[in-house]
Amino acid sequence: MKIDPIAQEMNAVIKSGNPHLMEMLSKTGRRLYFPKSILAQTAEARQKAYDKFNATIGIATADRHTLHLPSVMAYIKDIRPSDALTYAPPPGIFSLRQIWKEAMYEKNPSLKGKSVSLPVVTNGITHGLSVFSDMFMDPDDVLIFPDKMWGNNYLIMSVREDARISHYPMFSPDRGFNLAGLEAAVRQEAKNNYKVIVFLNFPNNPTGYTVTENEGDEIVDILTKVAEEGTNIIAVTDDAYFGLCYEDIPLKESLFARMCDRHSRLLAVKLDGVTGELFAWGIRVGFITYGTVIKGDHAAFYDALERKTAGNIRGSVSSASHIGQSIVLNALKSPGIQKEMTEKKEVLRKRAMRVKEVAAGSEYQDAWEMYPFNSGYFVCLRLKTVKAEALRVHLLDRYKVGTISVGERDLRIAFSTIDEENIEELFEFISKAVKDLNEG
């Protein structure tokens, strides 16, 4: 298929800054561009046309104000109709992208002095995964995940994109992160592929585990060495539950910050958003950010990559919710937001500590083993005597307890939804259900 001249210009800029990245882009990614048609003409009209004669964009106005229904705006406080009901730019509200990037540097000290792209707004982190997949995955490309992974990744990447998912055991026998397993998987796939995509999800769903400082550094070193040996590595950090660490041991920053400047064959991609960080799941505001080693003009390189990403969004959902972005932008500017976030994180920390205490009780040692966890929303049990799906159904039918079966023997529990005073009883019910099935 012929590549549009605008896409060709973007590709030339990207190739000049980092030729390896052109090898990483999918066929779709190489063809993607941000059109100069209606949006560009609208932007030009805003600069040059009289407001009363600007007939470019497909919204409705009256007296040059956004036309709206009072019945709709009655439920929206402190946000103007023009910031709630109109279309947002496909890459997102510029000031929101800026403030999120500034916050990223504050939350990740290792980013200091490093150059990364301006985040592009996605319709939640799930949409960010889909955008990434379109841009960087072709059929039969290989993706490396631990065996403990979020199930929707199969639907997004394997079913929709026809990519191949390769697994390694997430935990080593000493109950730490399986560094040897990760390295073996990456090296094995590097033998037969010029590009390998590695997904890193911490805090992990379903286990609630975040790597330690040393484990994080080892992961980065492993990927860097394979890149140095000639394989293109795309390292994607799914930071959906970023910041929710409940102990001193876990790494407190995203691995993106430590990978984004390591090697020209290593592209770091950060997916994050307000879902877990701001406890705002339904607002559907996520971000995708890029970092790699670049020659020459960093700004031009990242601008081309951002515009390709915006072209993907323009060609799918058009743009993320304007009202959602406006809410997030206003919230991030609120003087009380850090205190509020700290208070909510403390609620989850107390629950996590109570789960650790209760689930590890000696009375349960014959029924399950708790996978290591120190962060996030979830704890995962490895069942010793019963199958997870049978237990899930029995818990629901007899004890009215909802859990998630993951594979044959793993049961995921979202303690994020269980008040601290109910945690002990929850695990008592799970234990009773195990006994019921064993006696069966």
In a domain, 59, yes or no: no
Res 55: pLDDT: 75
DSSP element (H, E) containing 423 = helix 423-439
Cα separation, 233 vs 224, whole angstroms? 8
CA distances to 96, 142, 322, 326 from 77, rounded to whole Å, are 19, 47, 14, 12
Q: Which of 332, 353, 384 is the last residue of a domain?
A: 332
CATH number of the structural domain spanning residue 432? 3.90.1150.10
Let me know whether 271 and 363 are in one domain.
Answer: no
Let me know whether 15 and 124 are in one domain.
Answer: yes
What phi and psi values does residue 100 have, to the nearest 5 degrees?
Answer: -70, -40
Q: Which of 307, 332, 357 is the last residue of a domain?
A: 332
**What residue numbers bound the domain in which 378 lies?**
338-439
Res 36: pLDDT: 75
Determine the 3-state secondary structure of 323 from DSSP: helix
Let me know whether 233 and 282 are in one domain.
Answer: yes
Let me know whether 167 and 145 are in one domain.
Answer: yes
Is the pLDDT assigned to residue 44 strictly greater than 90? no
CATH number of the structural domain spanning residue 259? 3.40.640.10
The beta-strand segments (E) located in 92-246 are 120-122, 142-146, 164-168, 195-200, 232-238
Let me know whether 301 and 345 are in one domain.
Answer: no
In a domain, 62, yes or no: no
Let me know whether 224 and 97 are in one domain.
Answer: yes
In a domain, 56, yes or no: no
- Per-residue pLDDT tens for 266-305? 999 999 999 889 999 999 999 999 999 999 999 999 999 9
Q: Which of 285, 315, 332 is the last residue of a domain?
A: 332
Let me know whether 347 and 204 are in one domain.
Answer: no
Q: pTM for the whole thing?
A: 0.95
Total tally of structural domains belonging to the chain: 2
Are 244 and 204 in contact, with CB atoms under 8 Å apart? no
- Per-residue pLDDT tens for 125-159? 999 999 999 999 999 999 999 999 999 999 999 99
